[in-house]
Amino acid sequence: MPKTLTGAAGTFPSQTAPIASEPRTAGSVEASLQNAADRTQYLYDRLLYVDPTRSGARRIRRFETEAALKASTDYQDGTVAILKGKGLYEYIATSAETPVSPRVLQPDDNAGAGRWRLVMLDLIGGSNGLAQLNASGKVATTDLEAAGGGLKIAQGSIAMGRVADLIADAQALSASIAPNTTQAIADLTLEFASVQLGDRLVYQATIESYAATTDYVSFRVKRTDPAAGVVYSGRMQFHASDAREQRKLHPLLMVHQATLAGLYKFEVQIETHTTNASNVACTLGYARLEVLRP
């Protein structure tokens, strides 16, 4: 009567066989057959966990916390693991990157090369990728594209639909312009190189005050762009004899919807005239360029 051997999956026993001098009986081979049944059941249970429906691997080792992943000593080059709430990690044996949570993690038992690296890391902080936020949850100033004298960047105002918010604050500066001269004010110049088709650009600037001894002074905005080359706003003209005009804030505004992608540059021009008897003194205000993307 055959005996049914039931495999036990709890262990993975060493395989045995009868020795040459052992009598050839059913009992002499039962232990080896039982060991084989146990091994088979063990492997079956492991495969059932990884591939329950025979349609492909479904499970990767998972760690509940970052500390648990770093504490693991079971890794080889190319090992993949899931960290709960963070993403998929690959162990790269040659990596010596500075550990930065959660992007790059170093095993606790490895002081040399070898890092757990967040998969798709190249999309963070890389070319055409996602900006990496600093410890304050802001985009680093060096990662925001802008140029201009005395430039400051209002990081906190970056929101959905607004891809750039650049501010040049020149309130403590002044310009001295000779008679019959048109001069661009570098401290109120702002540019953005990554404008896309359809972006709306809003440039605002102010001249806080001016002093012209004999004739009027004009202000205007100059825009340089890949579509039209150079475009000017209308002139704002003020006469020297009007003391109130000299003391008030003079706002300038230019709004444009981009018809070509590329670099857009905005600057303020101050124009004096032949009959100005001496240099015109202007106190600069501020300039702001917003790039809004629909």
Complete DSSP assignment for 177-239: E-TT-EEEEEEEEEEEEEE-TT-EEEEEEEEEEEE-SSS-EEEEEEEEETTTEEEEPPPEEE-
Phi first, then psi: what are they for 245, rounded to 5°?
A: -65, -35
CB contact set of 31 (below 8 Å; sequence gap of 6+): 16
Degrees, nearest 5: CA angle 115-120-125: 90
CA 184 to chain centre: 34
pTM of the prediction?
A: 0.45
How far is it, in rounded angstroms, from Cα 72 to Cα 61?
11
**CATH code of the domain made up of 141-292:** 2.60.120
Does position 141 have pLDDT exceeding 70, yes or no?
A: no
Question: pLDDT per residue over 211-248, tens digit each?
Answer: 665 667 788 999 999 998 999 998 887 765 555 555 56
Q: How confident is the model at residue 89, as a pLDDT?
A: 94
Separation of alpha carbons 201 and 204, rounded Å: 10
* CB-CB contact of 58 with 51 (8 Å): yes
Question: What pLDDT score was predicted for residue 149?
Answer: 44
For range 124-140, the mean pLDDT:
69
- pLDDT the model gives residue 148: 47
For residue 13, the model assigns a pLDDT of 78
Could you tell me if residue 21 is left (phi over 0), alpha (psi between -120 and 50 degrees) or otherwise beta? alpha
Average pLDDT of the residues of the chain: 80
DSSP SS3 for 79 = coil
Q: What is residue 21's DSSP assignment?
A: T
Write the pLDDT tens digit of every residue in 168-208: 877 656 777 777 777 777 778 899 998 988 889 999 998 87
